[in-house]
Amino acid sequence: MKIVVCVKQVPDTKGGVKFNPDGTLDRGAMLTIMNPDDKAGLEAALRLKDQYGAEVTVLTMGLPKAEDVLREAMAMGADNGILVTDRVLGGADTWATSTTLAGAIRNLEYDLIITGRQAIDGDTAQVGPQISEHLGIPVISYAQDIKVEGDSVIVERQYEDRYHVVKAKMPCLVTALAELNEPRYMTPGGIFDSLEKEITVWGRANLVDVDDSDLGLAGSPTKIAKASDKVRKGTGEKVTLDSEEAVSYLMNKLTEKHVI
């Protein structure tokens, strides 16, 4: 079985979010991690590998430093890492990102593609289902459990108060939830092995069946019209009054502000 796992390098928001003066994220100044849903997706793939003997390839699109996330995945047990990086891909929205990832995946043999449900920075949850659409394969989203039976994948698909068991023939794409499992740690041996492994680096020229007009900023139909911080609430006013005074104080304030 061949499994492709899409992993995204995202800013570690626990270390504090840093902004550029124009309000965009200062990604260079922030620590980065593997997106949590993707890490669970990778762990699911590695468990299938342990059980059935699969080949696991991790794929990311990003800046050259996104190689770190591939090394981490390989230190956990992934067999191959592919970095898609090219200036023309910069500024991609979800459409351009999924077009790029699908263009890269068309070079590969795969039975199962696993993506995270959503990235903690973009938060759209669109990229996984869009990749399946580009490749013309079924998608099962919100996986809280993934099993393989013959040529089918069986997934527990999470809802707010229940789950459905959904079965699809492979090739199929599954989007994983962080709650799916407890990802394994990298081992010292795995870290050394990953440093010796080659990472495949692809650019625009390696993408199959994609049009330039669907790539990068120019190929992104989503445009950010305006970015601003949330309006902060005032600190409020603290007063100490007995109950009768408090009622008349509140009535005066509400009248003053034309609420009543």
56, 35 Cβ separation under 8 angstroms: no
Give the separation between CA 136 and CA 107, rounded to whole angstroms: 15
Of 175 and 194, which CB lies nearer to ligand FAD in the complex structure? Answer: 175
112 near ligand FAD, judged by CB under 6 A = no
126 near ligand FAD, judged by CB under 6 A = yes
**From the CB of 123, what's the least distance to ligand FAD, in Å?**
5
**Residue 137 half-sphere exposure, CB side, CA atoms within 13 Å?**
23
35 near ligand FAD, judged by CB under 6 A = yes
119 near ligand FAD, judged by CB under 6 A = yes
Member of 125, 148, 154, 199 binding ligand FAD (CB under 6 A): 125
Strands 2-6 and 152-158: unpaired
**From the CB of 168, what's the least distance to ligand FAD, in Å?**
18
141, 109 Cβ separation under 8 angstroms: no
Q: Which stretch binds ligand FAD (CB under 6 A): 57-65, 105-113, 150-158, 162-170?
A: 57-65
59, 105 Cβ separation under 8 angstroms: yes
**From the CB of 84, what's the least distance to ligand FAD, in Å?**
8
Helices (H), the chain: 36-52, 67-76, 94-105, 127-135, 188-196, 243-256
Q: Tokens 């609420």, residue? A: 259
Rounded to 10 degrees, the C-alpha dihedral 37/40/45/50 comes to 180
Of 1 and 4, which CB lies nearer to ligand FAD in the complex structure? Answer: 4
> Can you say whether the dihedral through the CA atoms of 215, 216, 217, 222 is positive or negative?
positive
Of 101 and 215, which CB lies nearer to ligand FAD in the complex structure? Answer: 101
Member of 6, 44, 46, 54 binding ligand FAD (CB under 6 A): 6
66, 11 Cβ separation under 8 angstroms: no
Of 100 and 194, which CB lies nearer to ligand FAD in the complex structure? Answer: 100
Q: Which residue is nearest to ligand FAD (CB)?
A: 122
Binders in 219-238 for ligand FAD, by CB under 6 A: 220, 222-224
Binders in 64-93 for ligand FAD, by CB under 6 A: 90-93
For residue 215, what are the contacts with CB-CB under 8 A and spacing of at least 6? 88, 89, 92, 96, 99, 100, 204, 207
What binding mask, one character per residue, do residues 183-222 give for ligand FAD by CB under 6 A, x or -? ----------------------------------x--x-x
Member of 12, 67, 68, 121 binding ligand FAD (CB under 6 A): 121
For binding to ligand FAD (CB under 6 A), which residues are involved?
A: 6-8, 35, 37-38, 60-62, 90-94, 97, 101, 115-116, 118-119, 121-128, 217, 220, 222-224
